Amino acid sequence: EAGVVQSPRYKIIEKKQPVAFWCNPISGHNTLYWYRQNLGQGPELLIRYENEEAVDDSQLPKDRFSAERLKGVDSTLKIQPAELGDSAVYLCASSFRTSQSRSYNEQFFGPGTRLTVL
Amino acid sequence: GNSVTQMEGPVTLSEEAFLTINCTYTATGYPSLFWYVQYPGEGLQLLLKATKADDKGSNKGFEATYRKETTSFHLEKGSVQVSDSAVYFCALEDGGATNKLIFGTGTLLAVQP
């Protein structure tokens, strides 16, 4: 079974340019997460989707970041314009979760996209 | 808010040495606790978990016990191998049944033959 797929794996851009990251979750997983991992830090949640709905985007910097998950499967995270401080690894994860879930549903992570902003 | 504090790395050990990576947490209530591992070039993988006080999570020879009295979840392994070299992240589930994870900063483990 394929895991979470992310592309590109690496991206180098100049500041003020736009950039987009793509994620394909594990088949059947209805919940999708985007995390940002700064160098030497743990991942921090940016946004969580349940199916097509963004149910937690409180940590997403909405002035320059946007995300979408059309049809509740693939997702795209965009930054426009990028700033030097956006250099990080962007991780996508997925899980299967029902509204009645009262226990942790394991999140499966992709390998991430390493973004360098010059 | 809830947070996780991890022992700083890197930790360098010889093969077959005993491993401890310390993790303490601050949280309201009793969140589920996790250890994730990230091997070079790969995504994070769940290593083990514990959902309530005194639970012991274990996997691949690694163990961690949920200690409510010391708010700790230290990772241990009796005999490390070169293949255990990776970054280890302690995490907690924020807010109860939300599936939102809060991670520590990670600890790099390097095992030498």
Measured in angstroms, the CA of A64 and the nearest CA of chain B are apart by 23
DSSP for B51-81 reads: -STT-EEEETTEEEE-BTTTTB--EEESS--
Where is pLDDT greater, at A39 or A2? A39
- Chain A neighbors of B4, CB-CB under 8 A: 42
* Chain-chain contact of B104 with A42 (C-beta, under 8 angstroms): yes
* Chain-chain contact of B4 with A95 (C-beta, under 8 angstroms): no
Residue among B93, B94, B4, B12 nearest A41 (CA) = B4
Residue among B46, B104, B23, B30 nearest A108 (CA) = B46
Q: How many CB atoms lie within 10 A of CB B40?
A: 7
The phi, psi pair for B82, rounded to 5°, reads -55, -35
Mutate to test the interface with A, among B48, B49, B99, B107 (most CBs of A within 10 A): B99
**pLDDT for residue A114 is more than 70:** yes
**H helix intervals, chain A:** none
Residue-level pLDDT at B102: 92
Going residue by residue through chain B, which has 113 residues, state the pLDDT in tens, using 9 for 90 and above: 889 999 888 999 999 999 999 999 999 888 889 999 999 888 899 999 998 899 999 999 999 999 999 999 999 999 999 999 999 999 998 765 567 899 999 999 999 99
Distance spanning both ends of chain A, measured CA to CA = 37
* Chain-chain contact of A102 with B97 (C-beta, under 8 angstroms): yes
* Chain-chain contact of A105 with B43 (C-beta, under 8 angstroms): no
Give me the residues paired with residue A34 across strands.
A47, A92
Measured in angstroms, the CA of B54 and the nearest CA of chain A are apart by 17
